[in-house]
Amino acid sequence: MGEAAAALREAARKLSDISDSPRLDAELLMAHALQMERSQLLLNLPGLEAPLGFSALVERRQRSEPVAHIIGRKEFWGLDFRVTSDVLIPRPDSELLIEEAVRLFASAHPQRIADLGTGSGALLLAALHEFPESRGLAMDASAAALQVAHENADALGLADRARFLLLDWTSADWASALGSGFDLVLANPPYISTGTRLSADVAGFEPHRALFAGAEGLDDYRIIIPALGKLLSPRGIAMLEIGFDQAKPVSQLASDSGYHVELKQDLGGNDRLLVLRH
């Protein structure tokens, strides 16, 4: 097929109309086709030939399929996670939850951690990676998502400290089924309003059940926040990811339930995280 460097340049050109990071996308796809890490690709690029199958991967990306789905993996908090179309692709913005957890529990690690709507397991498993004495319980309403989370726990060597429960918070007594005494509760629930137009790679390939939460994007917060009292230990902290324009309404829901609320911004300066304490 010719030199890999030239193929990368051409792929980045083709992807420039549909991606904010066309060169990175092309590099990840080529590294996948060559069965090597991106760092290895860049180090050895001058001597490499373009691999068979690379052009087909680029064509898939041109049709807006996410790179993470094409290569079947996504890095989060420095860890490698398997992803499929059954789970949301972990986003860098969500790393703020782990960053804040590490800061707040620096002197006394959480003994028990809960993850509500775990998807790939990224939040729970990243937290367990940081807190080696902790144990975690994650729930999700999708059996297919839980299978992905199980596989990630196994691959990361964390399966002995992580449990996964098929549970839907729209069901009665879900919080009782999950249990109590959690020092840290993590949640990145659906928070997009149903009228929102999403990019093609999200709307066409990621699970809508994990994205949309009613006309205001608040339906799931209205369920989760009142139930936190059953889940949290006396010193427990809950961390909720929010949409960039939801700080006020979700903070009000939390205040109405008796919580002290702290707002945190992501690297882009957008409101992203609410930290709730008794």
The tens digit of pLDDT for each residue in 124-163 reads 999 999 999 999 999 999 999 999 999 999 999 999 999 9
Token pair, residue 73, equals 């993996």
The tens digit of pLDDT for each residue in 14-40 reads 999 999 999 999 999 999 999 999 999
Mean pLDDT of 82-100: 97
The tens digit of pLDDT for each residue in 187-239 reads 999 999 998 999 999 989 999 989 999 999 999 999 999 999 999 999 999 99
Backbone φ, ψ for residue 271 (5° rounding): -55, 130
Res 2: pLDDT: 62
Pairing, β 135-140 against β 162-166: parallel
Residue 12 in this model has a pLDDT that exceeds 90: yes
Res 195: pLDDT: 86
Mean pLDDT of 248-267: 97
Beta strands in 148-212 (DSSP E): 162-166, 182-187
Q: What percentage of the chain exceeds 70 in pLDDT? A: 99
Q: What percentage of the chain exceeds 90 in pLDDT? A: 96
- What is the pLDDT of the chain when averaged over all its residues? 96
Distance CA 209, CA 97 (A): 22
Distance CA 94, CA 90 (A): 7
Residue 1 in this model has a pLDDT that exceeds 50: no
- C-alpha neighbours within 13 Å on the C-beta side of residue 126: 27
Distance CA 221, CA 17 (A): 36
Find out whether 67 and 126 touch, Cβ atoms under 8 Å. no
**CA-CA-CA-CA dihedral for 169, 143, 88, 86, to nearest 10:** -140
